[in-house]
Structure 1
Amino acid sequence: MAMFVHLTPAVNAARIRRSGIRAVSHGRDVARSRGLYCFPVLPSYTLTHQWLRELARHGRPRGLVAVHIRLPDDEPVTVGRYYRDPATVTAAEAVRRVAAVTDPRGWEVFVPRTVTKREVHRIRAVSQVTGWRYLPDAHGRPPCTCFGCRVRGEYGSQRLRQRRPHPLDGPAPASSVLLRRIAAAGTPGDPARLTETLRLFGMRRRGPLDQLVHLADHPAPEVRAALVEAVFRWKAPGVGALLQRLSQDPDAKVREAVEWATPDPQP
């Protein structure tokens, strides 16, 4: 049996003891299968729990806990470094590959299914200051402050943006300005102008959803995908219904945008 560690918010511990770990995360394979991420148990405590500080950056409530799971040696999983094409191997082979790497930081294993409660070996507390942030070897590098990299509400983020403003980002224009740009794009509207305007809408914490929802019927799929990326963070009535509608879009890129935008409570 191969042993892995899955890091999850402490609030999930009781539910995991009752019913196991749900398959809510999206894999990096072509099929975007659902499952959960984990890492082999190595002799090094720091390497085994290396992902903790990076996961904690994204507002995990009340800290993280380590869930040890046992999987059959022949269990099919994927293994590889993050944001690279993973290889499909058995669980035993995944452990062997990670252990053989000179520097396994940034590696991850994905189990494309639910883990049952019988496969949960134990749940224990873990040091909350273990691991790297942003990316391995990030210490000493100037952090990126672009909209895609920064985490809203992160400690010290406002001072960091003021000290190192990003040339491509900045305060988004007012909603009224952006709405005038959408109107000026015409009917149905130039896709390039609309996607750029929607990108700026996505930098705002909220916006006039009722005046943007018509773009869900735009003939260009890149506009519909940009609409998803612009509004999915907004805490506004109707966002959930819009995402549900676009999750059934005939274009695969739009459906993938909705899947990407759907938050994964257990990375």
Structure 2
Amino acid sequence: MAMFVHLTSAANTPRIRRAGIRADSRGQGGVRGVYCFPVLPSYTLTHQWLRELARFGPKGSLSAVHIRLDDAQQVLVGHYRDRAKDAQQWLTAAEAVARVAALPDPRGWEVVVPRAIGAREVHRIRAVPQVSGWRYVPNAHGTRPCTCFGCRIRGEYGGRRLRERHPHPLDGPPPPAPVLLARIDAAGDPGDPTALREALHWFGLRRRGPVDRLARLADHPDPAVRRELVWAVQGWSTPGVAELLDALAEDPHPDVREAVADVREL
């Protein structure tokens, strides 16, 4: 029998003891199953995913669920970066353990069991220290975290301070709203399209904004500016956004109308 460990919220452990682990995750190619990792002699490598999962998972501590699988059970094995088609391999559970154990650096590898785990397959559940493993990527320690929009996590502890110390040239933090409004005013009337689009890009990184001051750009002669306006205000909670998008949905240019349709599907 092959032994694996599945990391999950401690709040899930009563249900797992009673009914097992649900196949709620999606692996490569849309495979539905349970993520786990082989139990290796190294405690740190076995629980390497703990700190990274804690960044995205539910609040509270994580627990380790040890599961026993039949050696012939088919599982999907590969590195988390191997997202190309057929980059990961289907192996038996026994082969997966041997494959990962033989790697010079198994950090970042993962195993997906393509089914739910029954309660009888759960060997034991135990609490684990919450400081094991890597964050962001393996070998990230000592390198500056990326502050781009795709890498950062909204609400992450220390995230705002990190972005203020190391602002990303495209993804902020954005300048204050009065500074951006001054740039829009300085662009003239109807306004330089390049300067307006740059200011609207920064407005799009904010949660609220002056809808009344930007509404005039819905009549700008450049459709690229009007399209950027759609993406700038679509995530705001400011009153008046819905009315502005309604007006832009009737824009004569198809790119602007398409942008409104896209943001309303988000």
Q: Please state how far the C-alpha of 1:61 moved relative to its aligned partner.
A: 1.9
Task: State TM-score, norm by structure 2.
Answer: 0.70
Residue 9, structure 1, aligned to residue 9, structure 2: yes
Q: Please state how far the C-alpha of 1:48 moved relative to its aligned partner.
A: 0.1
Quote the residue 2:193 is aligned against: none
Query: How many angstroms apart in 2 are the aligned matches of 1:87 and 1:192?
Result: 47
Quote the residue 2:119 is aligned against: 117
Q: 1:146 to 1:227 in 2, by over 3 A?
A: farther
Contact kept, 8 Å, 2:230 with 2:260, in 1: the verdict is: no
Match of 1:94 among 85, 93, 96: 96
Q: 1:193 to 1:19 in 2, by over 3 A?
A: farther
What's the secondary structure of 2:100's corresponding residue?
helix
Contact kept, 8 Å, 1:66 with 1:125, in 2: the verdict is: yes
What's the secondary structure of 2:56's corresponding residue?
coil
Quote the residue 1:51 is aligned against: 49
For 1:147-205, what per-residue CA distance to the aligned partner results, in whole angstroms no more than 9, with x for missing partners?
1111112111111000111111133523738995996699xxx8998599548745x6x
Match of 1:176 among 211, 233, 257: 211
Residue 82, structure 1, aligned to residue 117, structure 2: no
Aligned amino acid, residue 110 of structure 1: V
Quote the residue 2:140 is aligned against: 138
Contact kept, 8 Å, 1:69 with 1:121, in 2: the verdict is: yes
Query: How many angstroms apart in 2 are the aligned matches of 1:95 and 1:72?
Result: 12
Quote the residue 2:67 is aligned against: 69
Aligned amino acid, residue 211 of structure 2: S
Query: How many angstroms apart in 1 are the aligned matches of 2:225 and 2:79?
Result: 33
Task: State TM-score, norm by structure 1.
Answer: 0.70
What's the secondary structure of 1:57's corresponding residue?
helix
Query: How many angstroms apart in 1 are the aligned matches of 2:146 and 2:66?
Result: 33
Q: Please state how far the C-alpha of 1:104 moved relative to its aligned partner.
A: 0.2
Quote the residue 1:157 is aligned against: 159
Q: 1:200 to 1:227 in 2, by over 3 A?
A: same
Query: How many angstroms apart in 2 are the aligned matches of 1:223 and 1:37?
Result: 37
- Note the 1:144-223 alignment, pairs <5 A: 144-170=146-172, 171=174, 172-173=202-203, 174=209, 176=211, 197-198=230-231, 201=234, 206=237
Quote the residue 2:37 is aligned against: 39
Query: How many angstroms apart in 1 are the aligned matches of 2:138 and 2:94?
Result: 25
Which gives a bigger RCO, structure 1 or 2 (Cα 8 Å, sep 6+)? 1
- Paired residues in the alignment total 220
Query: How many angstroms apart in 1 are the aligned matches of 2:217 and 2:76?
Result: 43
With 54-63 and 1-10 compared, the bigger mean Cα shift is at: 54-63
Contact kept, 8 Å, 1:19 with 1:116, in 2: the verdict is: yes
What's the secondary structure of 1:17's corresponding residue?
helix
What's the secondary structure of 1:155's corresponding residue?
coil
Query: How many angstroms apart in 1 are the aligned matches of 2:110 and 2:217?
Result: 41
With 161-170 and 130-139 compared, the bigger mean Cα shift is at: 161-170
Query: How many angstroms apart in 2 are the aligned matches of 1:74 and 1:115?
Result: 15
Query: How many angstroms apart in 1 are the aligned matches of 2:213 and 2:72?
Result: 54
Quote the residue 1:251 is aligned against: none
Q: Please state how far the C-alpha of 1:72 moved relative to its aligned partner.
A: 1.1
Contact kept, 8 Å, 1:53 with 1:131, in 2: the verdict is: yes
Name the Cα RMSD after superposition: 3.4
